[in-house]
Amino acid sequence: MESISKAPRRRYREVCVGIDQSYKRTGISVSADGELLRVTSVDLSKLKSKTEKRRKLQDTVKACLFQVSQRADETVVLLERVRTFSDGFLSTPYVKSMGALNSVVVDVAFDYDIDVYDVDTRAWKAAVIGTSKPKHNMYGVNEKKFPTVQWCCRKGFRKQLLHEVKGRRTKGTFERNGKKYEFDDDAADSAAISMFWFLGDRGKLKKES
């Protein structure tokens, strides 16, 4: 009889890596065959230049795609679509900087022959969370992001979202038992984005190149 240690690793039919990209903190989560598997983020806030941040993101995405692509018949990456306009204004520097960040992901995925798509914020929230309405909370989480944090916690990933906060920062934090904490809404967003591949209308996706 073949030993358990030599048994083949489980292979998934479809894996989706969801990325909520930001120069401050980028969420990177993994769903497979309709199940949320991993909820994480990479903190880029302490790196000084955008070049350093992009290189750190590049290394993180490369490690993630190398790992998941070994265990899936098909792997895709979903990015949150960059908003061209915010409050009615066009920010050219913002669009350019986010385009550069997206290119890092696309280029790494190209090396693994993995397609990258983007999805509109309203689309993934409607399909996965069920609402895009803000919700007041006592945890300091942005009201627009709190429903996604709640959804992710219900999925069993509260521990992965909850981070202790050191230093004097108070914005976006709450206190419990004499310590400060925050909920990682970037990780939560990336988790929901990864699930859109299985729950949403794929016809709403746009391929990145």
pLDDT band at 7 (very low <50, low <70, confident <90, very high): very low
Amino acid at 12: Y
Looking at per-residue confidence, does 93 or 1 come out higher?
A: 93
Is the C-alpha dihedral spanning 114, 56, 171, 178 positive or negative?
Answer: positive
pLDDT band at 1 (very low <50, low <70, confident <90, very high): very low
Asked whether 46 and 56 are in contact (CB, 8 A), the reply is no
Q: What is the dihedral of CA 100, 125, 110, 45, to 10 degrees?
A: 40
Asked whether 16 and 77 are in contact (CB, 8 A), the reply is yes
pTM, 2 dp: 0.92
Task: Look at domain 15-134+186-207 and name its CATH class.
Answer: alpha beta
Average pLDDT over residues 180-193: 98
Average pLDDT over residues 111-124: 97
Cβ neighbours, 10 Å, residue 39: 26
Average pLDDT over residues 45-52: 96
Of 113, 50, 131, 22, the closest CA to residue 76 belongs to: 113
pLDDT band at 93 (very low <50, low <70, confident <90, very high): confident
Amino acid at 50: K
Of the listed ranges 5-19, 43-57, 132-146, the one predicted with least confidence: 5-19
Rounded to whole angstroms, the Cα distance separating 209 from 205 reads 13
Of 106, 99, 23, the closest CA to residue 61 belongs to: 106
pLDDT given at position 5: 37
